[in-house]
Amino acid sequence: MPAGSPADRVLVALDVEALGDAERLLDCLAGTLTGCKIGSQLFTAAGPRAVEAARKRGFGVFLDLKYHDIPNTVAGAVRAAARLGVSMLNVHASGGLAMMRAAADAATKAAADFGTARPVCLGVTVLTSLDRTALHREVGVAATVEAHVLHLAERAREAGLDGCVASPQEVRALRLGLGRDWVIVTPGIRPGGGEGTDDQVRIATPCAALVAGADYLVVGRPITGASDPAAAAAAIVRELGGS
C-alpha cells in the first residue's frame, strides 16, 4: 500500500451490509482511490470474499478487525489475514506486549511461508469515538487521551509493530514522538464544509490530518453515504493536493 500520491493515502471504509454493496462502491471508486478498509461489518457478512473482491479490482486492503485476544489466537488470525494477501491489519495495542509481539512475528513468518509481502501491522490506540471523559469513566484510564495514545503507540513499537491507528488530534504528537518511519493511520476524518460528525468525537479535516503527519486517512460515511461517492472521494483527493 504505497503512501505516495494523495489518492493512495485515502482508504475508503467499506462499512456496508453486503458484498454487492461493497462491489458497487469499489467499481465506482476504482480510478479515484487505490486502497480500502474492510472492517468487522463487511467481513462478518461476506468473509474473505470481500478481500478477494477488492484485490481483484486492484485495491490494496487494510483488514480492520482489531484483534484483541490471547497471543496464540491473535497470531493465528494474523497468519490467516496474511494468507488472504491484505496489505495492512491491526490489533488492539491494549492487548499487551506479548500479544502484539505474537502478531508481528506471525506476520513475518506468514509472509515468508506464503511468499507474500508482509502486511503492515498496526496497533489500535484509543478509538476515535471516545473522549477523555469516556476514557476515564467508562474504560478506567485516568491519563489524557493524548498521553494514553502515546503510551500505547510506544508499546506497539516496542513489540515490533509498524505503526498505529489514532485520531487526527494525536497525529502531531505521535509523529514527534515516534519519528518519520512510524506508520500513522487516522479515521475520524470529516471534510471541510461537511455536515455532521456521526459518532466520531476526535475529528479533523483531511488536509489538517495530512499536515499533522498522517500517512493514511480512513474515510467512511463522507464517501459511502454521499449521493455520488466517486465525486466525494475525488473532492477529498483534491483537498489533499491531488488531481
Considering the complex, state which of residue 53 and residue 93 has its C-beta at the smaller distance from ligand C5P: 93
Considering the complex, state which of residue 116 and residue 212 has its C-beta at the smaller distance from ligand C5P: 212
> Among all residues, which ones are annotated catalytic?
66
Q: For the chain, what is the total number of helices (H) and then of strands (E)? A: 12, 8
Considering the complex, state which of residue 19 and residue 111 has its C-beta at the smaller distance from ligand C5P: 19
Binding positions for ligand C5P, rule: CB under 6 A: 13, 15, 39, 64, 124, 127-128, 165, 187-188, 198, 200, 218-221
The C-alpha cell at 37 is 478498509
Q: How far is the CB of 190 from ligand C5P (least distance, A)?
A: 8
Q: Among all residues, whose Cβ is closest to ligand C5P?
A: 220
Q: Write phi, then psi, for 115 (nearest 5 degrees).
A: 65, 30
Residue 219 neighbours by CB distance under 10 Å: 25
Q: How far is the CB of 219 from ligand C5P (least distance, A)?
A: 5
Considering the complex, state which of residue 34 and residue 90 has its C-beta at the smaller distance from ligand C5P: 90
- Which string of DSSP letters, residue by residue, matches 24-57? HHHHHHBTTBSEEEEEHHHHHHHTHHHHHHHHHT
- Which string of DSSP letters, residue by residue, matches 157-206? HHTT--EEE--GGGHHHHHHHH-TTSEEEE--B--TT----TT--S-B-H
Q: How far is the CB of 91 from ligand C5P (least distance, A)?
A: 12
Q: How far is the CB of 202 from ligand C5P (least distance, A)?
A: 9
Distance CA 29, CA 81 (A): 24
Report yes or no: 20 and 221 within 8 Å, Cβ to Cβ. no
